[in-house]
Amino acid sequence: MSLAVDAQPTPVPAVPAPAVTVPAVAGARLTVPLVTGERVPYANLDHAASAPCLDAVQDAVNELLPWYASVHRGAGFASKVSTAAYEQARDVVRRFVGGRRTDTVVFTRNTTDSLNLLARSLPSGTSVVLFDTEHHAALLPWRGPRVTRIRTPRAAGDAVLALDAALADCPVGPRLVVLTGASNVTGELWPVADLAAVARRHGARVVLDAAQLAPHRPVDIRALDVDYVALSGHKLYAPFGAGALVGRRDWLQAAPPYLAGGGATASVTEHRDHLGVSWASAPERHEAGSPNVVGVHAMAVACATLSRHGWDAITAHEQALFARLLDGLERLPQVRPLRLFEGGDRVGVLSFVVDGIDAGLLAAVLSAEHGIGVRDGLFCAHVATRRLLAGTGTGQQRAVRVSLGLGTTAEHIDRLLGALRSILTDGPRVDYHVVDGRWEPVTDGRELPPFVAI
């Protein structure tokens, strides 16, 4: 397979590599096999799906594990240690998102869980307004006749006007606006503060999906003037199964428990024909069952590490690499990046299509022949991605997403650009076919590590 391209070699982008130091991640020295039989350092360009574990988080988890025990109500010393770590994490996460002293921190599994919890906690008759290009985590939990989905315009300023008009048409009663901090498809930053100001004028509360924003930029509930923030540990370099919903207590306190069970109850009494239940106050009210103390501790350590290191260095690292990526892609006319808005700031996330090559095949070739991990598909944002794909006029049904993070290096970017040039010029080196909906090398001798088969 060969795609026509300028045969002249494209020079490495002139953008300088970052010279700042950022927190170290586990797996930075990971090598992976290629179909050619070689091993190369892994170029992880899939941070937006799940970020690798910070070294500091891995160390903190190893330190806690010998003390791991039940959380709350345990008299044993190990239980007291685990409980202290769990409750201390609430304050760390609250401060990480600039929460108010009175804000409640409910620990969940991830952003999806957090937004579903909030959806279950809305007062009766609440109107919900959101843009239709949200990630499924923010798009799907809200159901019913009082949900308004706004078609996302091509300019961020127009989004502000569209929200103002939608809220003006809402019926009387409680209102909630659902916003995204940064798109997981294009990396674009939404004008959250401007949109929140519109919501305030209409007496609406605001929940911010910060899953893609929090790993890249500081989040501040008070500065943005939002009421709730939802985020995931696995996006924040703490892949141990924890997330959080941080925000105003009243709706959460008044709502029935998200799950019924131990830990969410203050008292259960037996009556002749039923059980009498007195529920605990929020946040415990929505944390039934044995909590994920290891995941919560890991998330808190990640938040503390990022805050302590400083956002200036983290942002500078990412933006230098992202500029290097953009400069290189601009030299490849077959590559068509996707964008929601015209102009505007963005984090290190970029999706694109390539003329004449399926996104799934491209991702498979990058992995099998170059040791590069990217994402292909619709990225759990089907409405947004399909609309953007239609705008390219290529007929492509899926896109490729490249997402940067603390583990990304200039060599990773240059390897990706070189791999794209090679694929566009000469095509894949080996044959590929589709197996269970995914492209795979026809002959693939790469073996998974032994622990996977245990």
In the CATH scheme, what architecture does the domain 56-308 have?
Answer: 3-Layer(aba) Sandwich (3.40)
Residue 185 CA to residue 213 CA, distance in Å, equals 12
> Looking at residue 9, what is its pLDDT?
40
Burial class (CB in 10 A: 0-12, 13-18, 19+), 171: exposed
Q: Which residue has the tokens 């598909």?
A: 377
The string over 232-264, giving b where at least 16 C-beta atoms fall within 10 Å of a residue's C-beta and e elsewhere, is bbbbbbbbbbbbbbbbbeebbeebebbeeeebb
Q: Which of 53, 170, 303, 380 is catalytic?
A: 380
Fold match, 31-47+310-453 / 56-308: no
- What residue spans define the domains of the chain? 31-47+310-453, 56-308
Confidence of residue 8 (pLDDT cuts 50, 70, 90): very low
Q: Average of pLDDT values for 360-370?
A: 98
**Radius of gyration of the chain measured on its C-alpha atoms:** 23
User: Residue 11 pLDDT more than 50?
Assistant: no
Looking at the domain that runs over 31-47+310-453, which CATH code has it been given?
3.90.1150.10
The verdict on whether 380 is a catalytic residue reads: yes
Name the pTM for this structure. Answer: 0.93
Residue 311 CA to residue 154 CA, distance in Å, equals 29
With pLDDT > 70 as the criterion, what percentage of the chain qualifies? 95
The string over 113-135, giving b where at least 16 C-beta atoms fall within 10 Å of a residue's C-beta and e elsewhere, is bbbbbbbebbeeebbbbbbebbb
Judge contact between 313 and 21, C-beta under 8 A: yes
pLDDT digits (tens, 9 = 90+) for 400-439: 999 999 999 999 999 999 999 999 999 999 999 999 999 9
